[in-house]
Amino acid sequence: MSDLSLPSAPPADKPQPTTNQPQNVPFRGGGFRPRPIKGIGIALFVILIALAELGTRTGWISALTLPRPSDVFSTFIELYQTGLLFEHMAPSLMRFLVGSAIGVFLGIAVGITIGLFSLVRAGLVPLVAAIFPIPKIALLPLFVIWFGIGEASKYALIAFGTFTPTVVATFGAVDNVDRTLIRMGQSFGLSWFSIVRKIVLPGAMPGILSGLRISLAIGIILLVAAEMIGVEFGIGSYINEAGNLYDLERLFAGVVILSIFGVLVSALIGLIEKHLLKWRS
């Protein structure tokens, strides 16, 4: 959706005056330019939560439909006070960091080789297209067989899930690097390696970073899947357990943790973008 602001139209039913009165030229510009508005995001959160609280308290949302936000909050506090929060967070964070680091690193490397070498592109693009839509969750049993029931299979699942979107974003970004800049590099006799490092990589950085937002969100989604089998601690296993018991308060407390995590990751990428992409106009 665009930021369209409509100017108020002049009343059409009145007969047009045929005087020579000077009139302001009607304004038709504006809009179509997203700008940051402070506080709106938080306000929307607050309103939605307040509505849920009100609804569950007055009873027009039944307790089975939605848990009361204040109950979710107190579950969360309890989780924090018993120290369980940390015990669940630490292994999840580890799995997410290791898994997505592997996936993103390999994804960027493969994406760049696809962007640079026609042979690799011809071979790998169809392959990536074939594995992209596979629900990685479905492959968890396979990973357990390959990598064992321990941490390695979790890393593999998250790495695999973040790998494909990173590849697609990266080679798209490399394709979009301004060719005249590459010609310029060649015309000054820069080595192939210099051109890749000093022109292609920085030129592809905006696309790679915006791809990273998607890849890392997928990494968080897969955290829950990865912790479905053979895990005692982890946000994912906490959510799975609560879900199996239809304990909505705990389920939501877990979901909220993931959401906060997602917001933090997105903010972190925003920070990196702000720092690395200062040059963009």
Q: H/E/C letters for each residue in the chain?
A: CCCCCCCCCCCCCCCCCCCCCCCCCCCCCCCCCCCCCCCHHHHHHHHHHHHHHHHHHHCCCCCCCCCCHHHHHHHHHHHHHCCHHHHHHHHHHHHHHHHHHHHHHHHHHHHHHHHHCHHHHHHHHHHHHHHCCCCHHHHHHHHHHHHCCCHHHHHHHHHHHHHHHHHHHHHHHHHCCCHHHHHHHHHCCCCHHHHHHHHHHHHHHHHHHHHHHHHHHHHHHHHHHHCCCCCCCCHHHHHHHHHHCCCHHHHHHHHHHHHHHHHHHHHHHHHHHHHHCCCCC
In this chain, which of 198, 209, 256, 273 binds other proteins, going by CB under 8 A?
Answer: 198
Contact range with other proteins by CB under 8 A, out of 10-18, 66-74, 93-101, 196-204: 196-204
Among 17, 39, 59, 189, binds other proteins (CB under 8 A): 189
CA-to-CA distance for 107 and 204, rounded, in angstroms?
14
Does residue 280 belong to the site contacting other proteins (CB under 8 A)? yes
Minimum separation from the CB atom of position 212 to other proteins (A) = 18
Nearer to other proteins, 120 or 201 (CB): 201
Residues 5, 18, 58, 281: which binds other proteins (CB under 8 A)?
Answer: 281
**Smallest gap, in angstroms, from Cβ of residue 189 to other proteins?**
5
Q: How far apart are CA 240 and CA 246, in angstroms?
A: 10
Q: How far is the CB of 37 from other proteins (least distance, A)?
A: 25
- Single out the residue of 124, 125, 181, 221 in contact with other proteins (rule: CB under 8 A): 181
By CB under 8 A, residue 209 contacts other proteins: no
Residues of span 113-132 touching other proteins by CB under 8 A? none
Contact pick of 82, 186, 210, 259 for other proteins (by CB under 8 A): 186
Return the residue of 65, 82, 176, 194 that touches other proteins, per CB under 8 A.
194
CB of 175 to other proteins, least distance (A): 18
Cβ proximity to other proteins: between 74 and 210 the closer is 210
Q: Does the protein bind other proteins through residue 176 (CB under 8 A)?
A: no
Residue numbers at the binding site for other proteins (CB under 8 A): 180-181, 183-184, 186-191, 194, 198-199, 202-203, 278-281
